[in-house]
A and B are shown apart, each in its own frame.
Chain A
Amino acid sequence: MLLKGKAFKFGNDINTDYIISGKYKFKTLDMNELAKHVMEDLDPNFYEKIHEGDMIVAGTNFGCGSSREQAPLAIKYAKISCVLASSFARIFYRNAINTGLPVIECDTSKIDAEDLLEVDLQKGIVYNKTKSIEIPVTPLPDVMIKILKDGGLIDHFKKHGDFNFE
């Protein structure tokens, strides 16, 4: 699958409170509603600026903080196609795979705001079209590839009724 979009750049340690504030996530399960507030405390107009397919590009420790799965879901429902970061916090990374949001660990210092990017998930390559460079991607653990191939953990369980990594 080839993802295409424009880079929206953020710094290091972007926590899940910034991704979706606690004041919104406790009151609804409507992810389309939560999506309107994604990244609001860092950029109040973020949701208005983005278009379908655009990408969040960040530094180290993206998604640190709480275990809220509303964080990857709010990003996914805002129609962001994937998140690229130098590194991810553990719980966010699991939650993203479980909910089917592509997360790509790579050297994001080679990406500037508004660069046009293409991400080939199969080959594991990020193409920075603006800078005409290729950026290699850290491969996913096998277990996560199996969950992603099934379409996330919900579909993995629907298919197997249990964990099945054979």
Chain B
Amino acid sequence: MSKTIAEKIFSQHSGVDAYAGDLVVAQLDFVMGQDGTAPLAINSFNEMGGEELFDASKVAFVIDHSAPSPLEGVSALHKLMREFSTRKKHMLYDIGEGVCHQLVPEQGHVVPGDLVVGADSHTCTYGAINAFSTGVGSTDLAAAMISGKLWFKVPDTIKFICEGTLQPGVFSKDLILRIIGDISADGATYMATEFVGEAISTMEVDERFTISNMAIEMGAKAGLMEFDEKVEKWLSGRSNKTPRPVSADPDATYIQVINYDVSQLEPQVACPHTVDNVSPLIEVENLPIQQAFIGTCTNGRLNDLRVASKILAGKKIAPDVRFIVAPASRSVFLDAMNEGIIQTLVESGAAVVTPGCGPCVGTHNGVPSDGEVVLSTANRNFKGRMGNSKAFIYLASPATVASSALTGKITDPRSFI
């Protein structure tokens, strides 16, 4: 019988001919924890009687959410992670290396066909390179670190066919925001999603990550894409692992197929306080902002910084705006320096902070004040997300954030491109 990408990957990893709805115990190719979840996983690991890791080369911790540490309590948890990693001889990416969801694919830990879990909800990001990756909690992570396995319910899949060409100034972020606005925050709960069509195949891999990253914002377990030459090129030189590309069968069964023509899509903005509260930018145009932020696992990649720097080149940001930039990784930071992008951004008025999650999770690096409006490239705008429940967070593409930093109000980037 024909299968979706999810059904194929779960069949290959469980040794069972698996279809949507089946419960399987599947072998994992890689597991990851970050500083918000790994400390609790270490506790669970110890309580479970864990001694050895199933395979130290397949486990990584990343210190990215509160890095460098702003508080002694955080420092103690980071120390706990470092000591555990040293004892168990597995990889640890310490402060300044970057956001976990940039590092795991960038450092070659995941390749097409893999099954990966991470104790972070945005682990679904690697779907863009044809891997089934999903977020779990700390105790599931501990069980995975011990056994190399986890139980799953094989999900149904919603297929999004995205045809047409995005207009200049409209990006993958605008497309995924529109989709989430249409599907709602729980429209794909317990399901996988597949994104196909001309609009996806013409996109660079950096842009595809943005879409897969936000699959969780409609409740999805994974945001899968097909393998192609762009993925192959992106992977070359990054990984020694052998890719096992998985393609959906043409007559696979989908719970829903949704078509988009992206040609007429305008820039979109997610308004407070939910990610599915999405409007065309024009409806909130000219709303004054006090803080602009470009970064995160959604939009802190080289392509994102490049787009922003083109808009900001030779210009200064509005005097009453604070502009924060967090490159997604050390490698992105270095590439952006070599290209002169960082120079341009800093000259325009940006405060560049350590590669990592930055202010997205509200621990440090730019907590807004009461009543302030933040325009961010992140994936979440929940009340209190950036550390203050009285602030208002809007989400948009890096081009929209850069254009708005210039004017001090929410601005259509097409006037600058």
A residues contacting B by CB (< 8 A) are 13, 15, 17-18, 21-23, 25-29, 41-42, 60-61, 64-70, 73, 87, 89-91, 94-95, 98-99, 141-143, 152-154, 157-158, 161-163, 165
Question: Does B74 reach chain A (CB closer than 8 Å)?
Answer: yes
Residues of B within 8 A of A87 (CB): 186, 189
B36 pairs with A154, CB closer than 8 A = no
B186 pairs with A18, CB closer than 8 A = no
Question: Does B369 reach chain A (CB closer than 8 Å)?
Answer: no
Instruction: Tell whether A98 pairs with B137 under 8 Å between CB atoms, given A22-B361, A23-B387, A26-B35.
Output: yes
Residues of B within 8 A of A94 (CB): 136-137, 140
A69 pairs with B73, CB closer than 8 A = no
Contact with A along B90-133 (1 / 0, CB 8 A): 00000000000000000000000000000111010000000000
Residues of A within 8 A of B147 (CB): 162-163
A26 pairs with B74, CB closer than 8 A = yes
Residues of B within 8 A of A99 (CB): 137, 139
A28 to B37, CA, bound (A): 11
Contact with A along B126-156 (1 / 0, CB 8 A): 0000000001111110110011011101000
Residues of A within 8 A of B49 (CB): 157-158, 161
Residues of A within 8 A of B36 (CB): 22, 25-26, 66, 68
A91 pairs with B121, CB closer than 8 A = yes
B residues contacting A by CB (< 8 A) are 23, 25, 35-37, 39-40, 43-44, 47-50, 65-66, 71, 73-74, 77, 119-121, 123, 135-140, 142-143, 146-147, 149-151, 153, 185-186, 189-190, 219, 221, 274, 361-363, 367, 380, 382-385, 387, 389
B382 pairs with A165, CB closer than 8 A = no
The residue in chain A whose Cβ has the minimal distance to the Cβ of B71 is: A27
Residues of B within 8 A of A64 (CB): 185-186, 219
Residue of B48, B146, B387 near A22 (CB, 8 A) is: B387
A141 pairs with B48, CB closer than 8 A = no
A18 pairs with B383, CB closer than 8 A = yes
Residues of B within 8 A of A95 (CB): 137-140
Most chain B C-beta atoms within 10 Å of own C-beta, residue among A66, A143, A152, A165: A66
The residue in chain B whose Cβ has the minimal distance to the Cβ of A31 is: B40
B384 → A minimal CB distance (Å): 4
Supply 20 further A-B pairs (C-beta < 8 A) apart from A69-B138, A87-B189. Answer: A13-B274, A17-B382, A23-B363, A23-B387, A26-B77, A26-B361, A61-B185, A66-B121, A67-B120, A94-B137, A95-B137, A98-B140, A143-B151, A153-B48, A153-B139, A154-B47, A157-B146, A163-B150, A165-B25, A165-B151
B43 pairs with A29, CB closer than 8 A = yes
Shortest beta-carbon contacts, A-B, top 4: A27-B73, A95-B137, A61-B186, A69-B137
8 sampled A-B residue pairs with Cβ under 8 A: A23-B363, A29-B43, A69-B119, A90-B190, A142-B23, A158-B49, A163-B25, A165-B23
A95 to B140, CA, bound (A): 8
Residues of A within 8 A of B140 (CB): 94-95, 98, 153
